[in-house]
Structure 1
Amino acid sequence: MRVSDEDRERTAQQLQLAFTEGRLTHLELEDRLEIALTAKTYGDLLGLITDLPVEQPVDDVVTLESKNGHLKRSGDWAVPRRLRVSSKYGSVELDLSEAVITHPVVDIELDLTYGSAKIVLPEGGVANLDAFQTDWGNTATSDVPSRQRPGAVYVVVSGRAKYGGLSVRYPRKRWFTH
């Protein structure tokens, strides 16, 4: 996905902060800034900052709650750095395949009572489900790798499902005929 001038500037600020903290040398800063200011995709930008600590702004936590309905996010939506999802009697579907993800790591905390969750990652994304537990019902299943990779979106899922489960996968392939 292509980046905006604001995305390039935000990455440049992260690099400059890392330099002032002593995490980058002057030469590393210059090299990375040159790439950041000419980057075309999020992959180009993420590769510049994956070895740096990620700051976690307090205002970048989004909470989604439902007592009786189906929670769904799909299409072109902005994925926060941290997402808390609570559903008592409904299912949860988070489709990140077409979403705007500006963070190298996305934390998703699930609190499900009588429902299940499905998370669809963009192609190449990875998900760690080690901190998610199910009490009764289905287990947590994943069709995607779990080990963090440079330049790939890394989703860390935590929380629990009391009477449900969790599945993580890539988008289904669409076959077009003429």
Structure 2
Amino acid sequence: MTEPHQQRISDDDRHRTAEFLRQAAGDGRIDLEELDERLEAAYAAKVYADLVPLVADLPGAEPVVPPGMVVAPRPGFTPAAPIDAPTYSTSIAVLSGADRKGVWLVPPSHTAFTLMGGIDVDLREAVFTTPEVVINANAVMGGIDVIVNAWTRVTVEGIGILGAFEEGRAKVAPELGPSSPHVRVRGVALMGAVTVVRKPMPGEKRKRLRRASD
């Protein structure tokens, strides 16, 4: 019988660990650089033993690992200072473009406005400060793409006037659960487009191909 720590993990296990790490970063327990390193290791993990070192020094990590494995705090651990990730409450592009991507803190609401321009609001690696985030997206003769990952719940409530306000074709299947964050997208697209797209995590497809070849 395979020992618990040598059992193969699923994509859901990787996603759950990643969300746990983002929450730890939002609480100020790990800094931005360490969050990036741990996220990369989480998506490259193959068995539960690969995940344990990533969460062993963080309180409340027991749900991340299977029964039979004990996650003990690392000796001498002290909480890190609050992470230095940027916080953006607005994204504005007038005859230009704007991108929000990578690791950044998302407040309870974020306003995106474009006039004859383009905006990408990429939430795949973002740290949510609340379980639900409202994106107020308004596009006039321009485009706004709101990008979410597989395990983020989405509600699209906007209106298209001579334009489109919609959830686009997903690039990855939804993997929703009770702890999935919720993104509510509201606003108006006037002769423009607001599109919500579900995509894999950055680099995830490449890592999956590498794992498959191992």
Q: Shared fold by TM > 0.5?
A: yes
Find 2:183's aligned residue among 155, 159, 164.
155
* 1:97 aligned counterpart, secondary structure: coil
Number of residues of Structure 1 aligned to a counterpart in Structure 2: 132
1:40 maps onto 2:66 in alignment: no
Q: Which runs of 5+ in 1 are unaligned?
A: 10-36, 44-59
Question: Is the contact between residue 8 and residue 39 of structure 1 (CA under 8 Å) also seen in structure 2?
Answer: no
1:7 maps onto 2:27 in alignment: yes
| Structure ranking higher in strand proportion | 1
CA, structure 1 residues 8+63, in 2 after alignment: closer, same or farther (shift >3 Å)?
closer
Deviations 1:67-93 (A, max 9, x none): 111121111111111001111111111
* 1:38 aligned counterpart, secondary structure: coil
Identity score, percent: 20
Query: Match of 2:193?
Result: 165
The TM-score normalised by the length of structure 1 is 0.61
Shift of 1:174: 2.2
Please give the alpha-carbon distance, in whole angstroms, between the structure 2 residues aligned to 1:109 and 1:134.
14
The TM-score normalised by the length of structure 2 is 0.52
Please give the alpha-carbon distance, in whole angstroms, between the structure 1 residues aligned to 2:177 and 2:153.
8
Query: Match of 2:164?
Result: 138
Deviations 1:41-69 (A, max 9, x none): 9x9xxxxxxxxxxxxxxxx9812222111
Shift of 1:7: 2.2
Please give the alpha-carbon distance, in whole angstroms, between the structure 1 residues aligned to 2:28 and 2:136.
29
* 1:109 aligned counterpart, secondary structure: strand
Please give the alpha-carbon distance, in whole angstroms, between the structure 1 residues aligned to 2:154 and 2:168.
8
Please give the alpha-carbon distance, in whole angstroms, between the structure 2 residues aligned to 1:78 and 1:7.
11
Query: Match of 1:174?
Result: 205
Deviations 1:14-40 (A, max 9, x none): xxxxxxxxxxxxxxxxxxxxxxx9323
Shift of 1:6: 7.0
* 1:155 aligned counterpart, secondary structure: strand
* 1:4 aligned counterpart, secondary structure: helix
